[in-house]
Amino acid sequence: MAVCVAVIAKENYPLYIRSVPTENELKFHYMVHTSLDVVDEKISAMGKALVDQRELYLGLLYPTEDYKVYGYVTNSKVKFVMVVDSSNTALRDNEIRSMFRKLHNSYTDVMCNPFYNPGDRIQSRAFDSMVTSMMIQVC
């Protein structure tokens, strides 16, 4: 189950970050922040390859004792970071990929909204509901 979902802009500031309400949400924020470095490394590692060849799904960025952090980058360098509870071992890579796919779709819908200025925080209700469904359902 996604414990925390974050959308990071190209300039590495969060466009959207939401966690399962727990006692210490800041730690999720911190984990997302640290994962940004890993994401950047992964991107630069395949830097020589064309962007097309680069896969959007980055996979497991790094695991901690309780959580795993997965990453996904779009072609516009917008990053999706998802923190998943390690106890949920049933989560397979495919499921994570599908969750990122949904995120990406919802994100594009938000982008298509002419009232949304790129760079603003994402306040779309549809996006929120989708993220909620992701955080609850997989749990």
Partner 1 sequence: MEGLTLSDAEQKYYSDLFSYCDIESTKKVAANGRVLELFRAAQLPSDVVLQIMELCGATRLGYFGRSQFYIALKLVAVAQSGFPLRVESINTVKDLPLPRFVASKNEQESRHAASYSSDSENQGSYSGVIPPPPGRGQVKKGSVSHDTVQSRTSTDQQEPASPVVSPQQSPPTSPHTWRKHNRHPSGGNGERPLAGPGPFWSPFGDAQSGSAAGDAMWSGHSPPPPQENWVSFADTPPTSTLLTMHPASVQDQTTVRTVASATTANEIRRQSSSYDDPWKITDEQRQYYVNQFKTIQPDLNGFIPGSAAKEFFTKSKLPILELSHIWELSDFDKDGALTLDEFCAAFHLVVARKNGYDLPEKLPESLMPKLIDLEDSADVGDQTGEVGYSGSPAEAPPSKSPSMPSLNQTWPEMNQSSEQWETFSERSSSSQTLTQFDSNIAPADPDTAIVHPVPIRMTPSKIHMQEMELKRTGSDHTNPTSPLLVKTSDLSEENKINSSVKFASGNTVDGYSSSDSFTSDPEQIGNNVTRQRSHSGTSPDNTAPPPPPPRPQPSHSRSSSLDMNRTFTVTTGQQQAGVVAHPPAVPPRPQPSQAPGPTVHRPVDADGMITHTSTSPQQIPEQPNFADFSQFEVFAASNVNEEQDDEAEKHPEVLPVEKASDPASSLRVAKTDSKIEEKTAASAPANVGKGTTPLAPPPKPVRRRLKSEDELRPEVDEHTQKTGVLAGVLASQPSIPRSVGKDKKAIQASIRRNKETNTVLARLNSELQQQLKDVLEERISLEVQLEQLRPFSHL
**Residues lying near partner 1 in the complex (CB under 8 A):** 38, 41-42, 44-46, 52-53, 55-57, 62, 97-98, 100-102, 104-105, 108-109, 112-116, 123-126, 129
- What is the rounded distance in angstroms from the CA atom of residue 119 to the CA atom of residue 136? 27
* Closer residue to partner 1, CB minimum distance, 17 or 110: 110
DSSP codes joined into one string, the chain: -EEEEEEE-TTS-EEEEEE---S-THHHHHHHHHHHHHHHHHHHHT-SS-TTTS-SEEEEEEE-SSEEEEEEE-TTS-EEEEEEETT-TT--HHHHHHHHHHHHHHHHHHHH-TTPPTTSPP--HHHHHHHHHHHHHT-
* Closer residue to partner 1, CB minimum distance, 21 or 114: 114
* Closer residue to partner 1, CB minimum distance, 19 or 106: 106
Smallest separation (angstroms) from partner 1 to the CB of 130 = 10
* Closer residue to partner 1, CB minimum distance, 28 or 127: 127
Smallest separation (angstroms) from partner 1 to the CB of 114 = 3
Smallest separation (angstroms) from partner 1 to the CB of 102 = 7
Smallest separation (angstroms) from partner 1 to the CB of 22 = 26
Angle, CA of 135, 76 and 37, to the nearest 5°: 65
* Closer residue to partner 1, CB minimum distance, 1 or 116: 116
Smallest separation (angstroms) from partner 1 to the CB of 27 = 19
